[in-house]
Chain A
Amino acid sequence: MQKTLDQEINEIQTEEYLINMGPQHPSTHGVLYLELNLSGETVVDCMPHIGYLHRGIEKLAESRTYTQIIPFTDRLDYIASMNNNLGYCLAVEKLMGIEICERAQYIRVIIAELNRIASHLLAIGTFAQDLGAFATPLFYCLREREKIIEIFDEICGNRLTYNYIRIGGVQFDLPRGIDKKIKNFIGYMGSKINDYENLLSVNAIFLARTKNIGVLSKEAALNYGVTGPSLRASGVKWDLRRDFSYLVYDKLQFDIPVYNNGDSWDRYKIRLDEIVQSLRIIEQAVAALPEGDPTVKVGRMIKPPAGEVYVSTENPRGELGFYIVSDGSLYPYRLKIRAPSFANLAVLPALVKGLKVADVVCILGSLDIVMGEIDR
């Protein structure tokens, strides 16, 4: 007997199937492998596999002197190397109990904030690229980022891994005339913010792809240990530059942008707002830059007293913490790196469940992870 169409439709079986996203996938921002369990186009389960970039930096550090570890920190979050240098050097300085001169502190603030802008620019550019805004926003962002890299190139001679901030100061004093270039950049970047607002913030496609996608609640964000812009986009006003202030941030005026929805849109917008605040910080720091010699005075063979220290600083991606145990020798006994992206990625499976495959790309882009510091 012939079946009716209705009967045939009722007999159709559906089953979940599995796709592999990565480890070589353009929108996973590095070597991340996501195992996605799909029902149709809907994500049922997501399992991230990490470790493809694991270089054992924590183990290597146990057989290097304190100064030799600084280049390793460059290679953690390679988009924001200066901030990594800074976090590590602050931890060692706290362990040794040394104070650094005022000029070095201001230089560090300027450098760290410039690198934060560079990092956020890349985050916004690649995020827009992931959403299908092919090339234009990314090229705009890279154009602005290039100006920062040129400034860094002039200051320390490197474009990506700087190794500039040292234990007890910085490698070189600022070159003559750089303050004018930085001021020019502040004016230039300030005038470009509007371009981004016009290009992305009012773009109907961009809004449709990001609004209410991947909502991370305040409680979940804290419970998962999410930090940085992603936490502040969920409505938690927490920024280590203000809350556990370090360097000279307490002398500078800046606001902490907070958004309340915790969706991908908020995570994008908060980065744009933070660029504006960073520009404010740099402007004040350049104006207040005191005289002095910021270069290192402590020597390269450092033997901190036995003890342990935990210091975390506000990186572009969140709180980067260094836990150092010293036994009084030339080498650290144990160095633990608390990477912000590690916690920020762990929340991904909870965010993508029930959404479409294309939204996975969107959420991953909005979380702004860097595999270098996740795998270490």
Chain B
Amino acid sequence: MQPDNNISVIPKEKLLEVVKNLQSEGFEALHCLTAQDKKESIELVYIFQSLKKHRIFTLKVGLALDGLEIETLSRLYKAADWLEREVFDLFGVKFINHPDLRRILNPEDWKGFPLRKDYTHPDIVAKPKF
């Protein structure tokens, strides 16, 4: 099982700088990138993995709903290309300087961003009450 990982929260301006440091410290892989809707903001969660150090490291970046833009990591980690497209598709976060920012799972003409909490669709039924 993964050891309890270190979580650090940083402002979005410092992302590239912090990630460059991480990469030079031996975090070879961007293991996972996801986001969660915190109602008043969207929080990006980057999980890095270091094989040399036997560690994972979590980086969190909060984005206000009126400024859903952040620098891409695809120049540092190739894995970021598809992972960022997925977050763009499901949460609507724009990644600046991304080489090919398109929807990846949903069709190109899909409306809305499904994993946001305020997303509605006729096919989504309310939670059963217990």
Contact = CB atoms under 8 A, between A and B. Distances in A.
Interface of A: 50-51, 54, 56, 58-59, 63, 90, 94, 220, 222-225, 236, 238, 243-246, 301, 310-312, 319, 321, 323, 325, 330-331, 333-334, 336, 338, 342-343, 346-347, 350, 375-376
Given A54-B105, A343-B82, A346-B78, 17 more contacts: A50-B104, A50-B105, A59-B124, A63-B127, A223-B28, A225-B29, A225-B79, A246-B1, A310-B47, A310-B58, A311-B2, A312-B2, A323-B32, A323-B45, A330-B130, A334-B34, A375-B105
A86 B5 CA distance: 21
B106 A51 contact: yes
B106 A54 contact: yes
18 contacts: A51-B103, A58-B115, A59-B119, A59-B124, A220-B78, A223-B77, A225-B31, A243-B51, A244-B54, A310-B2, A312-B31, A321-B47, A325-B36, A331-B127, A334-B37, A336-B32, A338-B32, A347-B78
B2 A336 contact: no
A207 B116 CA distance: 49
Contacts of A321: 31-32, 47
B32 A310 contact: yes
Main secondary structure of the interface of A (DSSP, over half): mixed
Nearest to B3: A244
Contacts of B51: 222, 236, 238, 243
A310 B5 contact: yes
Given A319-B31, A323-B32, A336-B32, A56 B2 contact: no
A376 B5 contact: no
A279 to B, nearest CB: 24
Contact of A334 (B36, B103, B105, B107): B36
A7 B45 CA distance: 61
Nearest to B34: A336
A223 B2 contact: no
Counting contact residues on chain B (CB < 8 A from A), the size range is 35 or more
Contacts of B114: 56, 59
B81 interface: yes
A334 B116 CA distance: 10
A56 B119 CA distance: 13
Contacts of A58: 90, 115
A83 to B, nearest CB: 15
Interface in B68-105: 77-79, 81-83, 90, 103-105
Nearest to A58: B115
A22 to B, nearest CB: 16
B79 A343 contact: yes
Interface string B22-37: 0000001111101011
Nearest to B37: A334
A239 to B, nearest CB: 11
Contacts of A343: 79, 82
B68 to A, nearest CB: 17
- Among A224, A225, A347, A376, the most chain B Cβ lie within 10 Å of the Cβ of A225
A244 B31 contact: no
A220 B79 CA distance: 10
Contacts of B127: 63, 331
Nearest to B128: A63
Counting from the closest, the 9 A-B pairs by CB-CB distance are A225-B79, A336-B34, A222-B28, A338-B32, A51-B105, A334-B36, A54-B105, A346-B82, A246-B1
A346 B82 CA distance: 7
B56 interface: yes
Contacts of A333: 36
A24 B29 CA distance: 33
A208 to B, nearest CB: 30
Given A51-B104, A244-B1, A310-B32, A223 B79 contact: yes
Contacts of B37: 334
Contact of A346 (B81, B106, B124): B81
Nearest to B76: A223
B114 to A, nearest CB: 5
A56 B3 CA distance: 30
Given A222-B51, A244-B3, A301-B130, A338 B106 contact: no
